[in-house]
Amino acid sequence: MTSSPAAARTRKRPEERREEIVSQAAAIALESGLERITLRAVADRLGVRPGLITHYFPAAEDLVIEAFVRAAVREREQFFPTSGEPLERVAHFIAHVESGASTPLARLWLNARHLARFSPALDAALQEQDALDRARLIEIIGDGMRTGRFPIEDAETACIRILIAVDGSGSYVNSAPAAVHPAQQHVVADMTDWALGLAGGTLRAAVAARLAGTADVV
């Protein structure tokens, strides 16, 4: 007797299925916002019944939080290099901001900060990810201080100033597209020059070189 397609289908291991669920939830979060993550929305993407999602995530809030964490972790690994010359590592990060590559994640962070007012669990996850981002950036700044590239004495203060500039720039991501003044477009680069004790225009030049594909000459 020939097995039906349903009977022949291989059951996925729990860890594989859970990974699928979180990955799809993170994709929904980046595309449409954390509020759009529902058990049915994730189930539809996977072609399964909502009950399967409930088996892994009985509370929808847990899935929302894990989706945010997944996206935040991917952002950190993509935007904050762990090796290389410190100025180039900072320029790599700022280039993602100025090029628009970080826009979906900027929207997600703005969304999460709003919803965290109503969810202590999400707020805790947000604070943890924020602290990990700060630690990664402080590490980069510290490397630059040790080599004399960044003539400052306090890496944490510089980090906070840079991330506030990033958050300020990101507060406009939900506005209708409009002509962007250079002061707004380059605010993160300009603030980073100041925070790291660099000459004005240093990071504008480094970012421009990176976006033009000539970062090796900076």
Q: Is 84 left (phi over 0), alpha (psi -120 to 50) or beta?
A: left
Mean per-residue pLDDT, 59-76: 93
Mean per-residue pLDDT, 94-101: 90
**79-83, 122-126, 128-132: least confident range:** 79-83
Intra-chain end-to-end CA distance of the chain, in Å: 69
Ordered by start, the domain boundaries in the chain are 70-217
Per-residue pLDDT reduced to its tens digit, 79-93: 898 889 999 999 999
d(CA 91, CA 101): 14
Q: Give the per-residue pLDDT at 82.
A: 87
Residue 7 CA, chain-centre distance (Å), reads 40
Instruction: pLDDT band for 66, please (50, 70, 90 cuts).
Output: very high
Q: Give the per-residue pLDDT at 179.
A: 59
Instruction: pLDDT band for 4, please (50, 70, 90 cuts).
Output: very low
Helices 103-115, 155-170: axis angle to 10 degrees equals 90
pLDDT greater than 80 at residue 6: no
Mean pLDDT of the chain: 89
Nearest one of 129, 110, 145 to 69, comparing CA atoms:
129
Q: Give the per-residue pLDDT at 78.
A: 86
pLDDT greater than 80 at residue 9: no
pLDDT greater than 90 at residue 182: no
3-state class of 100 per DSSP? coil
What is the residue-wise DSSP string for 149-205? SS--S-HHHHHHHHHHHHHHHHTTTTSPP-PPPHHHHTHHHHHHHHHHTPPTTHHHH
Instruction: pLDDT band for 10, please (50, 70, 90 cuts).
Output: low
pTM as predicted:
0.85
Instruction: pLDDT band for 68, please (50, 70, 90 cuts).
Output: very high
- Sign of the alpha-carbon dihedral angle for 99, 178, 167, 207: positive
Q: What angle do CA 113, 119, 125 make, to 5 degrees?
A: 65
3-state class of 214 per DSSP? coil
Question: Tell me, which fold does domain 70-217 have in CATH?
Answer: Tetracycline Repressor; domain 2 (1.10.357)
Q: Give the per-residue pLDDT at 172.
A: 85
pLDDT greater than 60 at residue 143: yes
d(CA 188, CA 165): 5
Query: Residue 71 in contact with residue 28, Cβ under 8 Å?
Result: no
